[in-house]
Structure 1
Amino acid sequence: MAKRNNLERPAADSSSLSRELQTLRRENETLLGEKRAWSEELALLTAMIDQVPDHLFVKDTTGRYLRVNKGVAIDLGQLNPDEMIGKSDFDLHALEVARRLIADDQSVIQSGRAKLDIEEFIVDGAGTQKWLSTSKVPLRNSRNEITGLIGVSRDVTRRREAEERVHFLAHCDTLTGLANRNTFYKRLDEAIEAHRISNRRLAVLLLDLDRFKEVNDLLGHAAGDALLQTVARVASRELDNGKGEFMARLGGDEFAIVAPDLSDLAEAGRLAQRVLEAIRIENEGLSTAAPVAASIGVAIFPEDASDRPSLLSHSDTALYRAKSEGRGIYRFFESSMGHELRERRTLECDLRNAIARGELSLVYQPQYRIGSEEPFGFEALLRWRHPTKGDVPPSVFIPLAEESSLILQIGEWVLRVACREAASWPRPLNISVNISAVQLRIPNFAQMIHEILLHTGLPPNRLELEVTESALIQDPNRALASLRQVKALGVRVAMDDFGTGHSSLSNLRTFPFDKIKIDRSFIRAVHRNEQAATIVRAVLGLGRGLGLPVIAEGVETAAELEFLSQELCGEVQGYFLNRPQPIASFRAATHGDSVPQMDGPAANIHIG
């Protein structure tokens, strides 16, 4: 029996080995299955991490990357996340950026404290500047030792840009980039308080563009915007930022400058002059057909005012004075200006309602050919009888109308009334109407004239428009186009106040004039100033040479009339012949009811 058992032992060992092998095989299959599961889970986790739009990364204590997701790799110009393993920020960023990022990493690693939602600036692999909101936490092993850090970054560039845009819109003018009105008010209030405490002076300079509306009307709002940007850029260059000087756009074509820490009042004047000169020089190089200058009003703290509203009000008053005295200049505030400005603005307000209230009227002054006592035409002249102030001189209200653009409404009214009146005369006498420079520059000027002629029934050849040389030089291209269109209608054009402009002879050659009108200042001086007499003779000879009739205005004495007769002047008008009067006074001339009579001193003098 023992022998048989010994013979059966190898079979038993073989069976045990087989079972052990099967166990090992099952265990190996289990391990392989677990490995595949882990691999699949790792692949799934990696895929999930790579799909996360945020940046996920792990770094060791030296700042080298141990793991990154695809978002990090792509942003930093790497095709595969594995390519970043072992690299540091010095390998991937500019030196300055890398130093900042690594210093921040070391702060987390050395302190053991997380940093949450810190904003970092980077430049990605495509060269795009980005802002990231990053959180970094220490990475610890099982022994709680710090072995690196884990980081999560989110691209917040759009949010940051939106915040900056909101801040810009809240504090800056979108067109020029200057401070806006609210920011200016805040900074000016702060400056006033600081200067009050330190007993120092500051100046507020209010700058306004002259004839800016004409640029918008004639060249379009794009040209107007470009002009505002140019003024902002040019004027800002003249400011000393180191001294705290700053500029703002308050709205429209109005700008303001604050000049702190004035050593003397003249310093503010020098700054104003530099700004005006810079704008003038820049304007000379522009191709715009409507040159624009600027005017500046200056008020001083604390001499003129001790608070913001008063300073701005006084600088505005000084600005108004600068505009009224010729534009393109600066003026300091004076206490007497306040009353004058209030009076002027009240008058402007009254003028706005003058047409509706029937306060405006036309008077007519006859025009004669020397040798005839019958007028060949009349000049229509505007008058304003104010209900409380009485007759307001045209020299006062016409410039006021031009500055406020009321001249467009008033000028059209004058044309309609004068043409309607002339069309009612049985006798075909001419009617002459003065045209403002502002009217001449409106795009539809010729169309307006055409419509008035059609509506009133006045033949075009009976209407004569008088245009001053100043109206031509402000915008010669627009003026030439408008006058050519008017001439095409059959309307005649006269150059008014000839000799008082800057380029009379050039204008005669360029513009389609039918008549020359000698300015009254030359006529008045012919017997006192030989140069004036010589100029009148030259103009008369020029008219004969060009085949243009010449009319002399402002004839007030028999001696002046005699001089003009001897020099073969063809046409005259003035107080010596007849004063401007309501048209009813000239019914004999306009209707031929009887022989017309002069009512001036010349009534008893034979002309010619």
Structure 2
Amino acid sequence: MDECISAILPESVQASATGIAILDDQGVVVYANPAFAVRLGRADSQALVGTSPIPAWTRSAGEDERRALERLLRAPEAGAFTLPVAGDSATTLYLEARRSDRRIVVATTGWPQPGSVPRSVVAQLDALTGLGNRAMYDEQIRCLGNAGAGQVATAVILIDLDRFKQVNDTLGHATGDSLLVLAAKRMRSAIRGDDTLIRLGGDEFVILQYRNEQPAGARAIAERLVELLQRPFLIDGHQVNSGASVGVALLGHGTSDPADLLRHADLALYEAKRQGRSRYCFFESHLESRAFERRALELDLRRALGLRQFSLLYQPQKSFSDNTISGFEALIRWDHPARGRVSPADFIPLAEEIGEIHAIGEWVMRTACQQAASWEGDPSVAVNVSPIQFESENIVTVVRHALDASGLAPERLEIEITESTLMSNTEDVMQRLWAIKAMGVGIAMDDFGTGYASLSHLNSFPFSKLKIDKSFIQAEQSPRARALMKAILAMGSSLGMTTIAEGVETLDQYEELCRGGCTTAQGYYIAKPMTPETIEHFMRACRAASHHPNLMIQE
């Protein structure tokens, strides 16, 4: 038996419900898992090791069956054979084609009928983790369907590692592979001997659980998995924190067809991620209807750009130093003929997920630059750029083309990014940020103070502006809150960055920021977002009222 198979098979299939044995070049059993012994009506798989198949496997077989199996074992090609075991029961043996030093035999009751050629068992194993793969899952589900869904209480438990892409991007694919292996080991420790653990691909794993005490059995293992995978991993000197989200589907609990188990578990997994990750959810029927609604929204979103359903509004930004409007933030709006106005909070995450954000983001950049170029004076225009857009090197070209096509001076364009932009592909993202900054474009950190690594990111790139999250502005103004705001504003000043406070809604907030040394304010107290057509009138009115510091122009 070659070293690759000897290293993988015992670990990966020891707990499998599929019986697997390996014969050496002399036809002697060198490995058998417990399920193989059970299929043959034997109590101990180790007792089979070192034996020959004919006497050891054929205790309940007649002479004709023994001779037929003997012929099959002598033949070099793959084959199948139904072997009587005890009473009226039987098991089907599948023999892989003989190789120079080994032959794999599978014992099962649910795979294809005798006479068909089995898949190679090795082809059903994941080489990285030693677990089963998608082919093994498909076979087991087909077996379950043939057996009848009502005959066994089955759970499909789908596991997806949180932040796995971030690990790959920041620490490399070798570290990502090590994380998968260690996570598989932890998951294996959480399951019972009759559960089947499979790696579907990427960072997705699934457990097939056959037991009667459902949903309690599935809930117990889901809770255990979430807890186990939240613990840090130590890989090559790095502490890696991942976590996992889990979705569970059960036969007889909203799922009647085994073929739907994985799809329903995936919907439950999506719900777990939607609720904040590192948790588990069970499939419920309303998740399916929500998925249909989401699919309809996705189709509408893919058509929205071509149908010209997007528009931009602009919210003014007021400078404290001279009481003038220094710029505007571009805000995308989607007006659907049937849905009405769709909130960006609903469609932007979906656009990021399905990849439409690249086309939408390019349209926003191009349109904002074109419209800003027509404004009187030199107010800036701020454009939000998704972290997903920075995953593509095309973002630099998008900015350059928008400036060239519109004639807008680069110093009038400001790109707002959140710190999540800097959380993956850091080197590539930095190169793209520097390329954009080299054009003369300003780079602002949006939602400052809401992430866990804002200070380290301020040290990694010379941002031109800090945009203070509205949660700081609208919080109760306790002495502690005032001290924190004062520290943020002082830090921005010390680092040579301008500061802008968003979500300013009251005179008290406005005056407090002015006294604290904030550079710019934005919010409903200044003005609501407005259409491009009203900006010229608004700017004229602001210039006329510029000598009245607290006079706000509401459109």
- How far does the alpha carbon of each residue in 1:289-316 deviate from its partner, in whole angstroms, 9 at most, with x for none? 9986542211223223232133333212
1:393 matched to 2:393? no
Instruction: Give the corresponding residue for 1:549.
Output: 498
Q: Is the 8 A contact 1:364 1:380 kept in 2?
A: yes
1:499 matched to 2:449? yes
1:368 matched to 2:318? yes
- How far does the alpha carbon of each residue in 1:110-141 deviate from its partner, in whole angstroms, 9 at most, with x for none? xxxx9986869xxxxxxxxxx999xxxxxxxx
1:265 matched to 2:227? no
- Give the TM-score of the pair, scaled to structure 1: 0.65
1:157 matched to 2:99? yes
Aligned-pair distance for 1:410?
Answer: 1.8
1:472-487 aligned at under 5 Å gives the runs: 472-474=422-424, 476-487=426-437
379-388 or 320-329: which moved more? 320-329
Q: Determine which of 407, 430, 444 is the counterpart of 2:380.
A: 430
The 1:226/1:181 distance shift into structure 2, 3 A limit, reads same
Aligned-pair distance for 1:206?
Answer: 2.0
Instruction: Give the corresponding residue for 2:6.
Output: none
CA distance in 1, matches of 2:211, 2:549: 67
Aligned-pair distance for 1:563?
Answer: 1.5
Q: Is the 8 A contact 1:205 1:258 kept in 2?
A: yes
- How far does the alpha carbon of each residue in 1:513-534 deviate from its partner, in whole angstroms, 9 at most, with x for none? 111111111111254x443333
Aligned-pair distance for 1:337?
Answer: 2.4
Q: Report the secondary structure of 2:388's partner residue.
A: helix
Q: Is the 8 A contact 1:555 1:573 kept in 2?
A: yes
1:187 matched to 2:140? yes
Instruction: Give the corresponding residue for 2:513.
Output: 564
Instruction: Give the corresponding residue for 1:151.
Output: none
Aligned-pair distance for 1:388?
Answer: 0.8
The 1:472/1:97 distance shift into structure 2, 3 A limit, reads closer
- Unaligned stretches of 5+ residues in structure 1: 1-95, 105-113, 121-130, 134-154
Q: Is the 8 A contact 1:218 1:442 kept in 2?
A: no
1:586 matched to 2:535? yes
Q: Is the 8 A contact 1:207 1:255 kept in 2?
A: yes
Instruction: Give the corresponding residue for 1:510.
Output: 460
437-446 or 561-570: which moved more? 437-446
Q: Report the secondary structure of 1:238's partner residue.
A: helix
Larger radius of gyration: 1
1:203 matched to 2:152? no
The 1:182/1:576 distance shift into structure 2, 3 A limit, reads same
Aligned-pair distance for 1:547?
Answer: 2.4
Identity of aligned residues (%): 38
1:469 matched to 2:392? no
Instruction: Give the corresponding residue for 2:270.
Output: 320
The 1:515/1:166 distance shift into structure 2, 3 A limit, reads same
Q: Is the 8 A contact 1:234 1:279 kept in 2?
A: no
Q: Is the 8 A contact 1:175 1:225 kept in 2?
A: no
- Unaligned stretches of 5+ residues in structure 2: 1-47, 57-66, 79-96, 107-117
CA distance in 1, matches of 2:330, 2:153: 53
The 1:537/1:215 distance shift into structure 2, 3 A limit, reads closer
Instruction: Give the corresponding residue for 1:124.
Output: none
330-339 or 574-583: which moved more? 330-339
CA distance in 2, matches of 1:365, 1:132: 74
Aligned-pair distance for 1:212?
Answer: 6.2
Instruction: Give the corresponding residue for 1:230.
Output: 181
511-520 or 461-470: which moved more? 461-470
CA distance in 1, matches of 2:244, 2:330: 34
CA distance in 2, matches of 1:435, 1:156: 58
Q: Is the 8 A contact 1:466 1:493 kept in 2?
A: yes
- Give the TM-score of the pair, scaled to structure 2: 0.71
CA distance in 1, matches of 2:545, 2:447: 24
Aligned-pair distance for 1:381?
Answer: 0.8
Aligned-pair distance for 1:389?
Answer: 1.1
The residue type equivalent to 1:185 in the other structure is D
Instruction: Give the corresponding residue for 1:604.
Output: 551
Q: Report the secondary structure of 1:453's partner residue.
A: helix
Instruction: Give the corresponding residue for 1:536.
Output: 485
Instruction: Give the corresponding residue for 2:59.
Output: none
Instruction: Give the corresponding residue for 2:331.
Output: 381
The residue type equivalent to 2:514 in the other structure is S
CA distance in 2, matches of 1:351, 1:184: 34
The residue type equivalent to 1:337 in the other structure is L
Aligned-pair distance for 1:383?
Answer: 0.9
CA distance in 1, matches of 2:519, 2:126: 59
Q: Is the 8 A contact 1:368 1:376 kept in 2?
A: yes
The 1:586/1:291 distance shift into structure 2, 3 A limit, reads farther
Instruction: Give the corresponding residue for 1:577.
Output: 526
1:450 matched to 2:392? no
- How far does the alpha carbon of each residue in 1:246-280 deviate from its partner, in whole angstroms, 9 at most, with x for none? 13344565432212215453442342344445555
CA distance in 2, matches of 1:511, 1:321: 35
Aligned-pair distance for 1:557?
Answer: 1.2
The 1:383/1:259 distance shift into structure 2, 3 A limit, reads same
Instruction: Give the corresponding residue for 1:330.
Output: 280
CA distance in 2, matches of 1:420, 1:399: 26
294-303 or 472-481: which moved more? 472-481
Q: Is the 8 A contact 2:104 2:121 kept in 1?
A: no
- Which one has the bigger helix percentage? 1
Q: Is the 8 A contact 1:374 1:589 kept in 2?
A: no
CA distance in 2, matches of 1:211, 1:300: 27
CA distance in 1, matches of 2:537, 2:458: 36
- How far does the alpha carbon of each residue in 1:328-387 deviate from its partner, in whole angstroms, 9 at most, with x for none? 332122333233222222212211211111111111111110154531111111111122
